Amino acid sequence: MRETRSFDQDQTPRPPAAAGFFSGVHREIWDDADSLLHTKPKEPQRMSESSSRQIVIFDTTLRDGEQSPGASMNLYEKMEVAQALVELGVDVIEAGFPIASPGDFNAVREIAKTVRGSVICGLARCRPEDIDRAWEAVKYAEQPRIHVFLATSAIHREHKLKMDKAEIVQRAVEGVKRAVDYCPDVEFSPEDAVRTEIDFLCQVVEAAIDVGATTVNIPDTVGYATPAHMRRVIEILRNRVPNIDRAVISVHCHNDLGMAVANSLAAVEAGAGQVECTVNGIGERAGNCSLEEIVMALKTRNDFYHAHTRVVSQRIVPTSRLVATVTGIQVQRNKAIVGQNAFAHEAGIHQDGMLKERTTYEIMRPEDVGLTMSDLVLGKHSGRAALADRAKALGYRLTGEQLNLVFDEFKELADKKKEIYDGDIAALIEQQIHGVSELWSLESYQVTSGTGKVPEVTLSVRRGSEVLSSHKVCGDGPVDAVFLAIEELTGISVVCRDFRVHSVTVGKDAQGEVMVQLEYQGELYRGHGVSTDSIEASAKAFLNAINRIASVGNGSQQPSKIR
Ligand SMILES: [Zn+2]
């Protein structure tokens, strides 16, 4: 047998995060590890019926989530999301894959330098250069973690890696050792674990723990598992891997069959202590386990799972909204927890029951997930303090300068529209915090269009102190004419891949929110604009995307898939 480490409480190679979140049963696992190693510790990692163990929430919105088509974020947006995740109370933030690109590296390093309150994790393949680069980025964190992964399934071994089992084990051991030399908090993932032969999976996991992995993550990389299957895998690991109690078992489930949350819950039931998830369930293909669903399932069914998380559930809706705006991936209406209809009771018989006693048809209260029920209306006479108050309630943190800018826009909006709703305020703020450095801004425009007339526009944009004006530009429609005029003035010619407009709130005077996706030199760029005038909103969205293109050209950002 391999050498046994001393699990004396003081010498336990506990990850630095331990003091922060290993408070429930995880603490007990570490403290009792010695006895567990010498006895048969095969009861689930669960405390008595009356107490509840803490499940570590590992958020990968910034890494796996960002891999969703169209979801790439710029540095500023990543920092906003990271800060929101800390306030949400996630234990670990996987901030990116540092070796993937200089942009990824910078984002992970900046988050590690500035964000406090959660473990900051960087992903690495089992290669020395990857691990070195990950450490370079996360080393500034208060609590750094390196996450090393290596595929273990036969299909990956044969077709992707062309390595046999012994080589895989050796590579995994070398990778974990290298990471442990840098950092005591090391996570190891056998990629495609769920399709790996179970005996081999046990062997790799044991070897990784033996050289110091403090978390072993079991990914269902392709979304193939079912709840019963997942539960079985975790149970087998807990029963067969002799040193399993020296690490936290984690799961990372994909939603290809729509079971990512169910599979994660099954793993928790079998004794997993960490769940990897993303806000709104975004991620590769059909996405990852959704953070809000797993958290609320554990909270609502604590009676069954006897497990809880550190997540501040009231921050769920504001964080969901932020991630939706920043990534451009809107949440479907009937999405559990955060969808627009999640707490709407339409059926008459349900409404009758609700009025008599809420719990007849409601298992969670909307306020528990941060859904503000009172859509408080602000207006022309509302002051800065009222706006600041509303912004805070909606989940935004604004600096004094940002508040001033939003307040100016708010006053302008209040002149155009009597009642200002939460949706309006959120749209104004999001427009502000989205602000990539505005090289060009809209100065003015005039459009003429009508039945049987060719739409024409004259438009001016500002660049620093300079104002550039177009001649009359014709287009297939007024929006097309505006886009053509902006292309002519900025000299950036693009292909419009997506154009969407929707109203932010109710009423005829509601603000329109426009999202565009532009293609420029093979890369996609997002833009976002809001106004009570939908043509103006379109112009702002188009310019927002053009500014992103320009900022890449300036070298202030690294191009990757989609901006
Ligand atoms: Zn994944």
**Residue recorded with tokens 């890494």:** 63
Lowest mean pLDDT among 111-115, 177-181, 303-307, 373-377: 373-377
Angle at 32 between CA 304 and CA 299, to 5 degrees: 20
Q: Which residue has the higher pLDDT, 34 or 46?
A: 46
pLDDT of residue 27 exceeding 50:
no
**How far away, in angstroms, is 288 Cα from ligand 1 center?**
7
Q: How far is the CA of 260 from the centre of ligand 1 (A)?
A: 11
> How does pLDDT run across 480-531, given as a tens digit for each residue?
999 999 999 999 999 998 898 988 777 778 888 898 989 998 888 888 888 8
The per-residue pLDDT of the chain, averaged, comes to 86
Centre of ligand 1 from the C-alpha of residue 64, in Å: 5
Q: How far is the CA of 126 from the centre of ligand 1 (A)?
A: 16
Between 431 and 44, residue with greater pLDDT? 431
Distance between Cα 285 and ligand 1 center (Å)? 9
**67 φ/ψ sector (left φ>0, alpha ψ -120 to 50, else beta):** alpha
pLDDT of residue 39: 36
Residue 455 CA, ligand 1 centroid: distance in Å:
47
Q: Quick one: pLDDT at residue 557?
A: 42
Q: Residue 72 — pLDDT band, cuts 50, 70, 90?
A: confident
Q: What are the φ/ψ torsions at residue 259 (nearest 5 degrees)?
A: -120, 15
Judge whether 243 and 188 are in contact, CB under 8 Å.
no
Give distance in angstroms: CA of 150 to centre of ligand 1: 13
Distance from the alpha carbon of residue 147 to the mean position of ligand 1, in angstroms: 13
Q: What is the pLDDT of residues 313-327, one digit of tens each?
A: 999 998 998 898 888
pLDDT score, position 523: 80
How remote is the CA of residue 496 from the centroid of ligand 1, in Å? 30
User: Rounded to the nearest whole angstrom, what is the distance from the C-alpha of residue 253 to the centroid of ligand 1?
Assistant: 7
Please check the confidence at residue 438 and state whether its pLDDT lies above 80: no
Residue 89 alpha carbon to ligand 1 centre in Å: 21
SS3 content of the chain, % helix, strand, coil (to 5): 45, 20, 35
Which of 132-136, 145-149, 157-161, 283-287 is predicted least confidently?
157-161
Alpha helices in 339-399 (DSSP H): 348-356, 384-393
pLDDT at position 150: 97
Q: Ligand 1 centre and the CA of 500: distance in Å? A: 29
Closest by Cα among 143, 134, 133, 217 to 185: 143
Give the number of other CB atoms < 10 A from CB of residue 23: 13
pLDDT digits (tens, 9 = 90+) for 265-280: 999 999 999 999 999 9
Position 178 confidence tier, pLDDT thresholds 50, 70, 90: very high
Per-residue model confidence as pLDDT tens digits over 98-122 = 999 999 999 999 999 999 999 999 9
Residue 30 pLDDT greater than 90, yes or no: no
In the reported structure, the alpha carbon of residue 536 is separated from the centroid of ligand 1 by a whole-number distance in angstroms of 39
Percentage of the chain beyond pLDDT 70 is 87
Question: How many Å lie between the centroid of ligand 1 and the Cα of residue 108?
Answer: 18
- Both tokens assigned to 345: 């009771």
CA angle at 413 for the pair 325 and 458, rounded to the nearest 5°: 85
- Ligand 1 mean position to 340 CA, how many Å? 26
The count of other CB atoms within 10 Å of the CB of residue 375 is 11
- pLDDT, residue 434, reads 66
User: Residue 14's pLDDT is what?
Assistant: 38
- Whole-number Å distance, alpha carbon 123 to ligand 1 midpoint, is 11
How far is it, in rounded angstroms, from Cα 477 to Cα 473? 11
Winning range, highest mean pLDDT, from 30-39, 123-132, 493-502:
123-132
209/198 Cα distance (integer angstroms):
16
pLDDT tens sequence across 347-381: 667 777 777 777 777 889 888 998 875 556 788 88
The whole-number average pLDDT for the span 326-342 is: 89
Q: How far is the CA of 283 from the centre of ligand 1 (A)?
A: 7
Provide the residue count of the chain: 563
Of the ranges 233-242, 388-397, 422-431, the best mean pLDDT one? 233-242
What is the per-residue DSSP string for 61-110?
TTTTGGGSTT----HHHHHHHHHHHHHHT-SEEEEE-TTS-HHHHHHHHH
Q: What is the mean pLDDT of residues 435-460?
A: 88
Compute, in angstroms, the gap from residue 67 CA to the centroid of ligand 1: 9
CA 375 to ligand 1 centroid distance, Å: 37
277 alpha carbon – ligand 1 mean position (Å): 9
Mean pLDDT, rounded, for 292-316: 97
Domains of the chain, start order: 51-327 (3.20.20.70), 384-433 (no CATH), 437-553 (3.30.160.270)
Distance 7 CA to ligand 1 centre (A): 32
The per-residue pLDDT for 437 is: 65
Compute, in angstroms, the gap from residue 23 CA to the centroid of ligand 1: 27
Distance 161 CA to ligand 1 centre (A): 18
Q: Tell me the mean pLDDT in the region 388-392.
A: 83
For residue 259, the CA-to-ligand 1 centroid distance in Å is 14
Give residue for tokens 């960490």.
Answer: 274
Question: What's the confidence (pLDDT) of residue 347?
Answer: 65
- Report the separation in Å between the CA atom of 284 and the middle of ligand 1, taken as the mean of its atom positions: 7
- Dig out the tokens for 302 from the structure: 């604590």
Select the more confidently predicted residue: 325 or 48: 325
Distance (angstroms) between ligand 1 centre and the Cα of 322 equals 21
Residue 254, pLDDT > 70, answer yes
CA-CA-CA-CA torsion sign (410, 79, 555, 521)? negative
**Cα angle for residues 253, 255, 259 (degrees, 5° grid):** 85
Q: Give 65 Cα–ligand 1 centroid separation in angstroms.
A: 8
Distance 60 CA to ligand 1 centre (A): 8
Instruction: Yes or no: say if 244 and 270 are a contact pair by the CB < 8 Å rule.
Output: no
